[in-house]
């Protein structure tokens, strides 16, 4: 992450880049909740690992800053890698490699689709940066949801540790971690009841 942060700092978009430190930790949380809720019989460890990877993979686009790609371009941050087509592509790959993931193709497809979409959805719920290019390549508009409760924060550690840090953490705990934990506990409880 240090190199990504350095790339952003070099690019001069640090304060309003839309991606943030706390989200780097928060993006895998909905995926983890689905894994816990459904359990290893439905989502075996290899598929779970692929899912956690897919939940953060769209943000590899920040590497583009290092090469002078502007935020608003489709190769820029929250561009093509934050589209429905990209999510479907990862899901299709999961379906193709399902035997390697020790999973059934349909489960691999829908799980990887859900976790990649969860990343895009969380970004669309944040208060800063540009929106997500959800309908790329049919449309290059950047989208946010009408309701955006998740506070955006900078990549830079200094800025994050400033006064805004606790607010940002609190907003992510409230809108990402708490609902995810509730979903995981509900799924776990339901599985235990069914298993009796
Ligand atoms: Zn993102």
pLDDT digits (tens, 9 = 90+) for 106-144: 999 999 999 999 999 999 999 888 999 999 999 999 999
In a domain, 135, yes or no: yes
In a domain, 12, yes or no: no
Q: What is the pLDDT of residue 102?
A: 97
- Cβ–Cβ under 8 Å, residues 156 and 181: no
* CA–CA distance, 144 with 72 (Å, rounded to integer): 14
* CA–CA distance, 64 with 124 (Å, rounded to integer): 20
- Cβ–Cβ under 8 Å, residues 160 and 154: yes
In a domain, 107, yes or no: yes
- Please tell me the distance between residue 81's alpha carbon and the centre of ligand 1 in angstroms: 8
| Model confidence at 7: pLDDT above 80 | no
Q: What is the pLDDT of residue 98?
A: 98
User: H-helix or E-strand containing 32?
Assistant: helix 28-42
Total structural domains in the chain? 1
Q: What is the pLDDT of residue 157?
A: 66
- Please tell me the distance between residue 56's alpha carbon and the centre of ligand 1 in angstroms: 7
In a domain, 85, yes or no: yes
In a domain, 5, yes or no: no
| Model confidence at 22: pLDDT above 70 | no
> What residues contact 69, with CB distance under 8 A and at least 6 apart?
75, 76
Q: What is the pLDDT of residue 187?
A: 98
Question: Which of 11-15, 37-41, 79-83 is least confident?
Answer: 11-15
Q: What is the number of residues in the chain?
A: 196
pLDDT top residue among 15 and 113: 113
- Please tell me the distance between residue 103's alpha carbon and the centre of ligand 1 in angstroms: 27
pLDDT class of 163 with cuts at 50, 70, 90: low
- Please tell me the distance between residue 149's alpha carbon and the centre of ligand 1 in angstroms: 16
Q: What is the pLDDT of residue 44?
A: 98
Question: Which of 26-35, 45-54, 126-135 is least confident?
Answer: 126-135
User: What is the mean pLDDT of the segment spanning 147-176?
Assistant: 77
In a domain, 19, yes or no: no
- Please tell me the distance between residue 119's alpha carbon and the centre of ligand 1 in angstroms: 6
Structural domain boundaries, residue 152: 26-184
Beta bridge partners of 132: 143
**Residue 51 in tokens:** 């899912």
In a domain, 71, yes or no: yes
Instruction: Give 139's DSSP letter.
Output: -
In a domain, 129, yes or no: yes
Question: Which of 27-36, 40-49, 78-87, 126-135 is least confident?
Answer: 126-135
* CA–CA distance, 29 with 181 (Å, rounded to integer): 9
- Please tell me the distance between residue 194's alpha carbon and the centre of ligand 1 in angstroms: 36
* CA–CA distance, 74 with 83 (Å, rounded to integer): 10
pLDDT, tens only, 164-193? 677 788 888 999 999 999 999 999 999 999
- Please tell me the distance between residue 177's alpha carbon and the centre of ligand 1 in angstroms: 17
- Please tell me the distance between residue 196's alpha carbon and the centre of ligand 1 in angstroms: 40
In whole numbers, what is the pLDDT of the chain averaged over residues? 86
* CA–CA distance, 125 with 128 (Å, rounded to integer): 9
Q: What is the pLDDT of residue 3?
A: 39
């Amino acid at each position: 992450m240090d190199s990504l942060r350095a790339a952003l700092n070099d690019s001069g978009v640090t304060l309003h880049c839309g991606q943030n430190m706390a989200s780097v930790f928060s993006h895998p949380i909905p995926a983890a909740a689905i894994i816990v809720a459904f359990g290893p019989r439905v989502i075996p460890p290899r598929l779970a690992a692929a899912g956690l990877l897919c939940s953060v993979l769209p943000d590899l686009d920040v590497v583009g800053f290092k090469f002078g790609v502007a935020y608003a371009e489709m190769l820029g941050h929250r561009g093509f890698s934050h589209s429905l087509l990209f999510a479907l592509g990862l899901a299709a790959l999961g379906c193709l490699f399902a035997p390697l993931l020790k999973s059934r193709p349909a489960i691999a497809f829908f799980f990887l689709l859900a976790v990649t979409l969860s990343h895009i959805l969380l970004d669309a719920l944040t208060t800063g940066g540009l929106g997500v290019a959800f309908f790329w390549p049919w449309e290059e508009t950047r989208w946010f949801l009408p309701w955006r409760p998740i506070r955006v924060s900078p990549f830079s550690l200094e800025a994050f540790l400033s006064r805004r840090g606790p607010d940002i953490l609190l907003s992510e705990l409230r809108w990402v971690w708490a609902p995810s934990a509730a979903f995981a506990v509900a799924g776990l409880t339901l599985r235990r009841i069914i298993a009796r």
